[in-house]
Structure 1
Amino acid sequence: MKIHLTSIFVDDQAKAEHFYTEVLGFVKKHDVPVGEKDRWLTVVSPDEPDGTELLLEPVGHPAARTYRDTLVEDGIPLAQFAVDDVRAEYRRLHGLGVRFTQEPLETGPVTTAVFDDTCGNLIQIATKPR
């Protein structure tokens, strides 16, 4: 068994598509209309085009919005992405105007940082433990 797809709830799919592809550097995998305005919109890592897909799902359900917003209020990231060098990625993203809620922080064998994805979520980046 392995993870094929996971999702995050976003306020605006077009805004999320721009942020996740143009700013973070993911690649759009699927973009299929669903209903009148929503889409089945997934992105993947350019390093693993057949890897785990991230669904940028509209936050339509009230329970999903409450869950997501409560995590943000408490400063808890909804997802974590692995990077080779958190400090370098922090500098790159900060230079692109990304707002961080936690600057790079060493926590044992892992370094983490947390940013606002502009679509309603906090996302953590982390180095893999050595």
Structure 2
Amino acid sequence: MIRCNLSSVLVHDQQKAEDFYVGKLGFVKKQDFPAGGARWLTVIAADGSGVELLLEPSGYEFSRAYQKTLYDKGIPFTSLGCDDVQAEYERLTKLGVQFRGEPQKHADFPITAVFEDGCGNLIMLHEA
């Protein structure tokens, strides 16, 4: 059986990304070591569950263009799950996280809210 163990999100600045994903979202750092002039920097849910998330530098022009196009079109780079989107929206708003609107309930999809990670991405938060 194949399963996803690692996913990545492109970031402009790995330290800023670490501060945001750990300090505000509540992930914990799992791996951090030098890799090709940058860092192999991963975070995971505080309880150790789920997929490891690589905070990958957007070091190539094509990756920056892709990231910027998604952002400019309002398309989230990825989606993160939680038990209660409304509660996370309120908690993160108090921490200064910029949302693109209040949580929304969709007919055939769970409650979602989209926020900016400060590293060039929109991230969708969905109720899992």
Q: TM-score, normalised by structure 2?
A: 0.94
Displacement of 1:76 after TM fit?
0.5
Give the drift of 1:24: 0.2
Provide the residue aligned with 2:61 in structure 1.
Answer: 62
Partners of 2:27 and 2:117 in 1: how far apart? Answer: 13
Offset, 1:35: 3.2
Q: Secondary structure at the match of 1:46?
A: coil
Q: Counterparts of 1:27-106 in structure 2 under 5 Å?
A: 27-36=28-37, 38-47=38-47, 49=48, 51-106=50-105
Q: CA offset at residue 103 of structure 1?
A: 1.6
What are the Cα deviations for residues 1-39 of structure 1, in whole angstroms up to 9, with x where unaligned? Answer: 100111011000000000000100001000011134x10
> 1:51 Cα deviation (Å)?
3.6
- Partner letter of residue 23 of structure 2? E
Structure 1 residues 100 and 39: CA distance shift in structure 2, 3 A: same
Post-superposition offset of 1:102: 2.7
List structure 1 segments (4+ residues) > 2 angstroms apart after TM superposition.
none
Cα RMSD for the two superposed structures: 1.1
Aligned to 1:127: 127
Q: Are the structure 2 counterparts of residues 65 and 127 from structure 1 closer, same or farther at C-alpha, using a change threshold of 3 Å? A: same
The answer for unaligned runs of 5 or more in structure 2 is: none
Deviations 1:95-116 (A, max 9, x none): 0000011320001251000000
Match of 1:14 in 2: 15
Sequence identity (%)? 51
Structure 1, gaps ≥5 residues long: none
Task: Output the CA distance in 1 between the equivalents of 2:76 and 2:101.
Answer: 10
Equivalences, count: 126
TM-superposed deviation, 1:50: 5.8
Rounded to whole Å, the distance in 2 between the matches of 1:50 and 1:121 is: 23
